[in-house]
Structure 1
Amino acid sequence: MPTTARLVAAVLMAALGWGVATLATAYLPEGQPVGLFAPVMALWGVIVGWIWTGRKIQEGSGKPLGVGLVGAALLVFWVLLSFAGFEMVRRATRVRYGGPVEALEDMMKIAMEYVRDQMQPDVIGALVIGGALAGVLTAWVARRFR
Protein backbone atom coordinates (compact mmCIF):
# COMPACT_ATOMS: atom_id res chain seq x y z
CA MET A 1 0.00 0.00 0.00
CA PRO A 2 1.51 3.35 -0.96
CA THR A 3 2.22 5.61 1.98
CA THR A 4 4.10 8.83 2.49
CA ALA A 5 6.71 7.00 4.55
CA ARG A 6 7.40 4.57 1.71
CA LEU A 7 7.69 7.40 -0.80
CA VAL A 8 10.08 9.37 1.40
CA ALA A 9 12.15 6.26 2.15
CA ALA A 10 12.38 5.45 -1.56
CA VAL A 11 13.49 8.98 -2.44
CA LEU A 12 16.02 9.15 0.41
CA MET A 13 17.51 5.74 -0.35
CA ALA A 14 17.72 6.61 -4.05
CA ALA A 15 19.57 9.81 -3.15
CA LEU A 16 21.85 7.79 -0.87
CA GLY A 17 22.52 5.32 -3.66
CA TRP A 18 23.32 8.05 -6.17
CA GLY A 19 25.58 9.87 -3.71
CA VAL A 20 27.48 6.76 -2.69
CA ALA A 21 27.88 5.76 -6.34
CA THR A 22 29.35 9.18 -7.06
CA LEU A 23 31.85 8.73 -4.23
CA ALA A 24 32.63 5.14 -5.17
CA THR A 25 33.45 5.85 -8.82
CA ALA A 26 36.74 7.40 -7.68
CA TYR A 27 37.84 3.99 -6.39
CA LEU A 28 36.93 1.92 -9.44
CA PRO A 29 39.89 0.43 -11.30
CA GLU A 30 41.27 2.77 -13.93
CA GLY A 31 39.71 2.26 -17.33
CA GLN A 32 36.59 0.54 -15.98
CA PRO A 33 33.51 2.17 -17.47
CA VAL A 34 31.20 3.84 -14.97
CA GLY A 35 28.19 3.63 -17.26
CA LEU A 36 24.98 3.00 -15.36
CA PHE A 37 26.55 2.65 -11.91
CA ALA A 38 24.80 5.65 -10.31
CA PRO A 39 21.37 5.09 -11.94
CA VAL A 40 21.37 1.38 -11.05
CA MET A 41 22.37 2.15 -7.48
CA ALA A 42 19.62 4.77 -7.26
CA LEU A 43 17.09 2.29 -8.67
CA TRP A 44 18.05 -0.26 -6.03
CA GLY A 45 17.73 2.55 -3.49
CA VAL A 46 14.15 3.16 -4.59
CA ILE A 47 13.35 -0.55 -4.35
CA VAL A 48 14.98 -1.03 -0.93
CA GLY A 49 13.49 2.21 0.39
CA TRP A 50 9.99 1.31 -0.75
CA ILE A 51 9.98 -2.39 0.16
CA TRP A 52 12.17 -2.48 3.27
CA THR A 53 12.75 0.87 4.95
CA GLY A 54 9.39 2.50 4.37
CA ARG A 55 7.38 -0.60 5.18
CA LYS A 56 9.29 -1.44 8.36
CA ILE A 57 9.06 2.11 9.69
CA GLN A 58 5.39 2.47 8.72
CA GLU A 59 4.58 -0.76 10.58
CA GLY A 60 6.64 0.38 13.56
CA SER A 61 8.70 -2.81 13.54
CA GLY A 62 12.18 -1.70 14.49
CA LYS A 63 14.03 1.39 15.56
CA PRO A 64 14.39 3.96 12.76
CA LEU A 65 18.17 4.11 13.08
CA GLY A 66 18.50 0.34 12.77
CA VAL A 67 16.01 0.08 9.92
CA GLY A 68 17.90 2.77 8.00
CA LEU A 69 21.25 1.06 8.54
CA VAL A 70 19.87 -2.30 7.45
CA GLY A 71 18.38 -0.55 4.41
CA ALA A 72 21.83 0.82 3.50
CA ALA A 73 23.32 -2.67 3.91
CA LEU A 74 20.59 -4.15 1.71
CA LEU A 75 21.30 -1.48 -0.89
CA VAL A 76 24.96 -2.50 -0.96
CA PHE A 77 24.06 -6.21 -1.10
CA TRP A 78 21.71 -5.88 -4.09
CA VAL A 79 24.05 -3.57 -5.99
CA LEU A 80 26.96 -5.97 -5.44
CA LEU A 81 24.83 -8.91 -6.51
CA SER A 82 23.67 -7.05 -9.63
CA PHE A 83 27.07 -5.91 -10.83
CA ALA A 84 28.89 -9.12 -9.93
CA GLY A 85 26.15 -11.09 -11.68
CA PHE A 86 26.40 -8.90 -14.75
CA GLU A 87 30.18 -9.34 -14.87
CA MET A 88 29.79 -13.10 -14.43
CA VAL A 89 27.33 -13.28 -17.32
CA ARG A 90 29.68 -11.16 -19.45
CA ARG A 91 32.52 -13.57 -18.74
CA ALA A 92 30.27 -16.59 -19.28
CA THR A 93 29.40 -15.41 -22.78
CA ARG A 94 33.12 -15.58 -23.52
CA VAL A 95 33.10 -19.23 -22.41
CA ARG A 96 35.37 -18.76 -19.41
CA TYR A 97 33.63 -21.24 -17.13
CA GLY A 98 33.43 -25.01 -17.13
CA GLY A 99 30.01 -25.05 -15.51
CA PRO A 100 27.45 -23.13 -13.51
CA VAL A 101 29.11 -23.79 -10.13
CA GLU A 102 32.39 -22.35 -11.37
CA ALA A 103 30.51 -19.30 -12.67
CA LEU A 104 28.78 -18.76 -9.31
CA GLU A 105 32.08 -19.14 -7.46
CA ASP A 106 33.65 -16.53 -9.72
CA MET A 107 30.66 -14.25 -9.15
CA MET A 108 31.40 -14.33 -5.42
CA LYS A 109 35.08 -13.56 -6.10
CA ILE A 110 34.05 -10.62 -8.29
CA ALA A 111 31.77 -9.31 -5.54
CA MET A 112 34.58 -9.58 -2.97
CA GLU A 113 36.92 -7.67 -5.31
CA TYR A 114 34.33 -4.91 -5.57
CA VAL A 115 34.03 -4.81 -1.78
CA ARG A 116 37.82 -4.70 -1.36
CA ASP A 117 38.10 -1.81 -3.82
CA GLN A 118 35.22 0.18 -2.30
CA MET A 119 36.03 -0.24 1.41
CA GLN A 120 37.05 3.39 1.79
CA PRO A 121 36.27 5.56 4.82
CA ASP A 122 34.27 8.13 2.87
CA VAL A 123 32.12 5.50 1.14
CA ILE A 124 31.44 3.61 4.37
CA GLY A 125 30.79 6.84 6.26
CA ALA A 126 28.34 8.04 3.64
CA LEU A 127 26.48 4.72 3.78
CA VAL A 128 26.27 4.71 7.57
CA ILE A 129 25.31 8.37 7.98
CA GLY A 130 22.98 8.34 4.98
CA GLY A 131 21.25 5.13 6.05
CA ALA A 132 20.78 6.39 9.59
CA LEU A 133 19.45 9.73 8.35
CA ALA A 134 17.08 8.02 5.91
CA GLY A 135 15.65 5.90 8.72
CA VAL A 136 15.22 8.81 11.13
CA LEU A 137 13.70 11.14 8.53
CA THR A 138 11.36 8.44 7.28
CA ALA A 139 10.20 7.78 10.85
CA TRP A 140 9.55 11.49 11.35
CA VAL A 141 7.49 11.60 8.15
CA ALA A 142 5.60 8.44 9.16
CA ARG A 143 4.61 10.01 12.49
CA ARG A 144 3.79 13.39 10.96
CA PHE A 145 1.67 12.15 8.04
CA ARG A 146 -0.39 9.21 9.28
Structure 2
Amino acid sequence: MPTASKLFAAFGMALVAFLSAEIFKPHMPAGTQFGAFSPLSAIIGIVCGWRILGPATGEGWWPSANAGLRASLGALALALVLFSTEEMLVQAVRKYYDTPTEAIMGLIGIAAEIVQRMVAADFLLALLGGGMLAGVLSEWAGRRWS
Protein backbone atom coordinates (compact mmCIF):
# COMPACT_ATOMS: atom_id res chain seq x y z
CA MET A 1 0.00 0.00 0.00
CA PRO A 2 1.55 3.33 -1.00
CA THR A 3 2.12 5.73 1.88
CA ALA A 4 3.85 9.07 2.23
CA SER A 5 6.65 7.52 4.26
CA LYS A 6 7.30 4.87 1.58
CA LEU A 7 7.34 7.55 -1.12
CA PHE A 8 9.78 9.72 0.81
CA ALA A 9 11.88 6.66 1.71
CA ALA A 10 12.11 5.64 -1.95
CA PHE A 11 12.99 9.16 -3.07
CA GLY A 12 15.49 9.68 -0.26
CA MET A 13 17.25 6.36 -0.82
CA ALA A 14 17.35 6.95 -4.59
CA LEU A 15 19.10 10.24 -3.96
CA VAL A 16 21.49 8.68 -1.44
CA ALA A 17 22.34 5.81 -3.79
CA PHE A 18 22.86 8.09 -6.79
CA LEU A 19 25.10 10.51 -4.89
CA SER A 20 27.03 7.67 -3.25
CA ALA A 21 27.64 6.13 -6.68
CA GLU A 22 28.94 9.46 -7.96
CA ILE A 23 31.23 9.79 -4.93
CA PHE A 24 32.47 6.20 -5.44
CA LYS A 25 33.50 6.68 -9.08
CA PRO A 26 36.84 8.43 -8.37
CA HIS A 27 37.87 5.48 -6.18
CA MET A 28 37.87 3.13 -9.17
CA PRO A 29 40.86 2.76 -11.52
CA ALA A 30 41.34 5.36 -14.22
CA GLY A 31 39.63 4.43 -17.46
CA THR A 32 36.82 2.45 -15.82
CA GLN A 33 33.69 2.53 -17.95
CA PHE A 34 30.67 3.10 -15.72
CA GLY A 35 27.79 3.07 -18.19
CA ALA A 36 24.52 3.35 -16.27
CA PHE A 37 26.16 2.85 -12.86
CA SER A 38 24.59 5.85 -11.11
CA PRO A 39 21.04 5.48 -12.52
CA LEU A 40 21.03 1.74 -11.70
CA SER A 41 22.23 2.58 -8.21
CA ALA A 42 19.32 5.02 -7.89
CA ILE A 43 16.88 2.28 -8.94
CA ILE A 44 18.38 -0.01 -6.30
CA GLY A 45 17.91 2.83 -3.81
CA ILE A 46 14.25 3.18 -4.78
CA VAL A 47 13.63 -0.52 -4.23
CA CYS A 48 15.45 -0.62 -0.88
CA GLY A 49 13.79 2.59 0.28
CA TRP A 50 10.31 1.33 -0.59
CA ARG A 51 10.77 -2.23 0.69
CA ILE A 52 13.15 -1.82 3.66
CA LEU A 53 12.91 1.75 4.94
CA GLY A 54 9.30 2.68 4.15
CA PRO A 55 7.59 -0.05 6.20
CA ALA A 56 9.94 0.51 9.15
CA THR A 57 8.83 4.05 9.88
CA GLY A 58 6.32 5.05 12.53
CA GLU A 59 8.31 3.71 15.49
CA GLY A 60 10.15 6.93 16.30
CA TRP A 61 13.06 9.03 15.11
CA TRP A 62 15.96 6.76 16.14
CA PRO A 63 14.39 3.53 14.89
CA SER A 64 13.72 5.25 11.56
CA ALA A 65 17.33 6.43 11.35
CA ASN A 66 18.39 2.86 12.11
CA ALA A 67 16.08 1.60 9.37
CA GLY A 68 17.76 4.09 7.04
CA LEU A 69 21.11 2.49 7.90
CA ARG A 70 19.63 -0.95 7.16
CA ALA A 71 18.28 0.29 3.83
CA SER A 72 21.67 1.79 2.93
CA LEU A 73 23.48 -1.44 3.74
CA GLY A 74 20.85 -3.43 1.85
CA ALA A 75 21.30 -1.19 -1.19
CA LEU A 76 25.06 -1.53 -0.87
CA ALA A 77 24.86 -5.33 -0.76
CA LEU A 78 22.44 -5.50 -3.68
CA ALA A 79 24.56 -3.14 -5.77
CA LEU A 80 27.71 -5.10 -4.95
CA VAL A 81 26.13 -8.37 -6.09
CA LEU A 82 24.62 -6.80 -9.22
CA PHE A 83 27.72 -4.95 -10.42
CA SER A 84 30.16 -7.74 -9.52
CA THR A 85 28.03 -10.24 -11.41
CA GLU A 86 27.84 -7.92 -14.40
CA GLU A 87 31.63 -7.55 -14.48
CA MET A 88 32.11 -11.31 -14.14
CA LEU A 89 29.72 -11.92 -17.05
CA VAL A 90 31.61 -9.41 -19.21
CA GLN A 91 34.85 -11.24 -18.45
CA ALA A 92 33.21 -14.63 -19.08
CA VAL A 93 32.03 -13.51 -22.54
CA ARG A 94 35.63 -12.50 -23.28
CA LYS A 95 36.70 -16.10 -22.45
CA TYR A 96 38.60 -15.00 -19.34
CA TYR A 97 37.41 -18.09 -17.44
CA ASP A 98 37.78 -21.71 -18.50
CA THR A 99 35.22 -23.26 -16.15
CA PRO A 100 32.12 -22.10 -14.26
CA THR A 101 33.99 -22.59 -10.99
CA GLU A 102 36.64 -20.13 -12.13
CA ALA A 103 33.89 -17.65 -13.02
CA ILE A 104 32.36 -17.91 -9.54
CA MET A 105 35.78 -17.48 -7.93
CA GLY A 106 36.32 -14.50 -10.24
CA LEU A 107 33.01 -13.04 -9.04
CA ILE A 108 34.19 -13.29 -5.44
CA GLY A 109 37.50 -11.67 -6.37
CA ILE A 110 35.78 -8.81 -8.16
CA ALA A 111 33.46 -8.24 -5.20
CA ALA A 112 36.41 -8.27 -2.78
CA GLU A 113 38.26 -5.69 -4.89
CA ILE A 114 35.20 -3.42 -4.98
CA VAL A 115 34.73 -3.74 -1.19
CA GLN A 116 38.37 -2.68 -0.66
CA ARG A 117 37.72 0.43 -2.74
CA MET A 118 34.53 1.17 -0.77
CA VAL A 119 36.50 1.71 2.42
CA ALA A 120 36.73 5.46 1.91
CA ALA A 121 35.52 8.04 4.39
CA ASP A 122 33.67 10.21 1.87
CA PHE A 123 31.76 7.27 0.38
CA LEU A 124 30.84 5.71 3.73
CA LEU A 125 29.78 9.06 5.18
CA ALA A 126 27.54 9.78 2.20
CA LEU A 127 26.01 6.31 2.21
CA LEU A 128 25.46 5.84 5.95
CA GLY A 129 24.74 9.47 6.85
CA GLY A 130 22.45 9.82 3.85
CA GLY A 131 20.62 6.63 4.83
CA MET A 132 20.02 7.97 8.34
CA LEU A 133 18.81 11.27 6.91
CA ALA A 134 16.47 9.42 4.54
CA GLY A 135 15.11 7.48 7.53
CA VAL A 136 14.40 10.67 9.47
CA LEU A 137 12.83 12.26 6.37
CA SER A 138 10.63 9.22 5.91
CA GLU A 139 9.56 9.34 9.56
CA TRP A 140 8.72 13.03 9.20
CA ALA A 141 6.60 12.34 6.12
CA GLY A 142 4.80 9.51 7.89
CA ARG A 143 3.94 11.75 10.84
CA ARG A 144 2.97 14.66 8.63
CA TRP A 145 0.65 12.89 6.17
CA SER A 146 -0.61 9.83 8.03
**TM-score band (shorter)?**
over 0.9
Where in structure 2 are the equivalents of 1:130-141 lying within 5 Å? 130-141=130-141
| Residue of structure 2 equivalent to 1:64 | 64
Corresponding position of 1:29:
29
Describe the SS at the equivalent of 2:26.
Answer: helix
Partner of 1:81: 81
Q: Are residue 108 (structure 1) and residue 112 (structure 2) matched?
A: no
For normalisation by structure 1, the TM-score amounts to 0.92
> How far did residue 15 of structure 1 move?
0.3
Q: Which runs of 5+ in 1 are unaligned?
A: none
Post-superposition CA distance 1:121-142 (Å, at most 9, x none): 1001111110111111111111
Residues matched between the structures, number: 145
Deviations 1:22-53 (A, max 9, x none): 11111111010122111011010001011111
1:107 maps to amino acid:
L
* C-alpha distance after superposition, 1:3-23 (max 9, x if no partner): 111111000000001111111
Letter in 2 for 1:68: G
| Structure 2: gaps of 5 or more residues | none
- Aligned 8 A contact 1:4 1:141 in 2: yes
1:39-73 CA distance string (max 9 Å, x none): 01101000101111112225x49811110001110
| TM-score normalised by the chain length of structure 2 | 0.92
| 1:81-133 deviations in Å (ceiling 9; x for gaps) | 11100011111112222333322221111011111122111001111110111
SS in 1 for 2:31: coil
